[in-house]
Structure 1
Amino acid sequence: MTETQALTEFPRARSAECPFEPPPEFTEIRAAAPVPQLTCPAGIEARVVSRYEDVRAVLANQGASSRGAPSMHMMEHPNLNMSVVPGSILRMQGPEHRRLRRLLGPEFMPKRSESMRDYVRKVVDEHIDALLAGPKPADLVPDFAWPIPALIVGELLGLPEEDRTLFYEHTGIMMSAATDQPTKDAADGRMWEYMETVVAAKQAEPGDDVLSRLIRRGEESGQPLTFTELVGIGTTLLIAGHDTTANSISMSALLMMVHRDQMEPLRTDPKLAGPAVEEMLRYLSVPQFGLLRYATEDIPLGESTIKAGEWLVAALQSGNRDEQEFDDPDRFDVTRKPRPHLTFGFGEHQCPGQHLARTELQEVCLRLLERIPSLRLAIPFEDLVFKDEHYAFGVESLPVTWDDDTSA
């Protein structure tokens, strides 16, 4: 019996030897058993889809329901049968999901995200100013990676400025697979209550923000969004728009410091920021546990078939390292010819905020390289503590320092 045949449990999120690497079991699964049935921490048996094309096929299939939420298979004792809250677009399916995505779509088109670039750059520069004016070493997680996307998603949703950093703790609790369900539910409840007050204010006095435009767009369509739908959408955007991007910022900054030689072309040619960020997104695969789906009908995958009634996990991190799609996939190479990766998912549930996330990461990389070229770790790499139990792969703390002659 081979090691792949003997594998019975869902693999660790990362290689024990290098935190940037997915678990080696995925290489074996792709080669020998692309859709094995494995036991997940949630206690369910799930078919694990590991190859790039298979992951895309599953995520594009209407028979693969997202009712189980993106990564609920990693929780212990989850409620996999809980009802889907209106507006919770991550778990919705069918016509109602498509209606909400159509109304939301104009808010996240590339042109709209590009229009926010100046604001994003301003926020990034303000935090670099604060870093340079403060003591060394600094911690890029609380001082940089976490507040930046909080302010940006707050701007997007039109949140009061004094509220834009209030939800750090709650998103961290809700996005950890190690959090027990009662604690997660309590944090979810507080976020929901806060968003109820925001939506009520927007309905009473609409402004120029995503929620206000959704209210107007829904009324113009003849199918106005309900209060609960607006709260669900707002809460989803607040959590998803902050946590995943914050961890992507910290991990991208770490990658830049570890692979300093790879950054030289970007330092001299800002136009390379786009391809460089795409490679970072592929290589890091921050949504590290993949996406949980439930088969509502038989789903053929090559010579295999996922039967109706089976759970399955679309392993994004494995697809992003598929040797059939990417040359030397375990090598980080910012000059790699861009090829669509799976980090933002695929199909109708592909991340709506992907273009804004790209804008944020591009500005972070460019401004750090230009303004703090000597940025480096202040502790040994081996001493970093990674978020192995977090839905979005990240680092708990990122102490950094730089040369005193860095220009502010």
Structure 2
Amino acid sequence: MMRTQPLKVALLGCGVVGSEVARIMTTHATDLAARIGAPVELAGVAVRRGGRERAGIDPALITTDAVELVKRDDIDVVVEVIGGIEPARGLILSAMEHGASVVSANKALLAEDGSTLHASAAKHGVDLYYEAAVAGAIPLLRPLRESLAGDKVERVLGIVNGTTNFILDRMDTTGAGFAEALDEATALGYAEADPTADIEGFDAAAKAAILAGLAFHTRVTAADVYREGITEVSAADVASAKAMDCVVKLLAICERGADGQSVSARVHPAMIPRSHPLASVREAYNAVFVESEAAGQLMFYGPGAGGAPTASAVLGDLVAVCRNKLSGATGPGESAYAALTPQPVGIARTRYHLSLDVADRAGVLAQVAAVFAQHDVSIDTVRQQGRDGDATLVIVTHTATDAALAATVADLRGMDIVRDIAGIMRVEGE
């Protein structure tokens, strides 16, 4: 039986994502009601600046008083798409205190203080859903939280930022430099006016923290994630990757430690073989591999950003939360029972690609190789090119720890025969 009394939804934010959420709620109202078992009604839209028309939204619903909106007793669900830490955190906590479940797309807040939000949801008997916080429209968090709840996840590896993927893809396919590719991304609307969060890896690190927390049943914050952006990736790095039949991607990597008691999460550019499925992820798309004990390798792929894709994930959560409201139940809460210890990047093991400018004379290669051996970093291949009394050594290592590689690089920098270390990049996905 369809309930006639509507479930009332408060929307915080009416930008690109918020306006799309409102549009879909209006245009698909009949379908949403049929899927939920009751009508859903947009009861208020909080914005920073009132006084201007917003297409498709009744002006009477617009308010600049978000605090008053989330405290209303008739609000069943609050959808938060304003982003940032405050006032979003305070508004979400207030909504929960007044009995509303919350759907959020706020990766920064969840990565910094998700435990507080989960604790509040549990205390007040409401839901906290946030599928839209990672990888846009791609169903990823709910499979980790629910579908794989009976499995043991070992590793999560993926491309979770569309802006950086677009830039690196352009550098690979057109030979453009970083600055030129960033300008194109900005012109096409893939990059924000201030792209720092994307190109310096902050956005991907927040998403990695959320993924690691869900995958390994452990509280992981953005501060636990090692982060490198793509601003230092050069056309020469991309060319070197091509010479190895590889492509450069910004990867988020979350792994269970070999000791079974730890977890590591890192974000950095890396070379991956062109034969790897992630190498074919083009433009602003996202893709994530999940490796688990029983299910094996699973790949999730699709548009990772944009108003419509993100709104799709928000609406999926809204339907789930509204169904729970009708049944008097709540969905899965925080699962942090494993309490694994976040480890520094120094213990991470991978291969490395280094480009060294050295003096072109006899014995240089032997001296360089001795430094690698001293730190137990085994060399796989070496390619040497001479020019005007200097030479370039391109070295690819076998698997080694990040700490061992860092110590090797520190010693190399102190050698007179090493003019410059032109590039260092990890090699993943082999």
The TM tier, using the shorter chain, reads under 0.3
TM-score, structure 1 as length reference:
0.22
Whichever of the two has the greater Rg, that structure is 2
Which structure is richer in relative contact order (CA contacts within 8 A, separation 6 or more)? 1
Bigger share in strand: 2
Bigger share in helix: 1
TM-score, structure 2 as length reference:
0.21
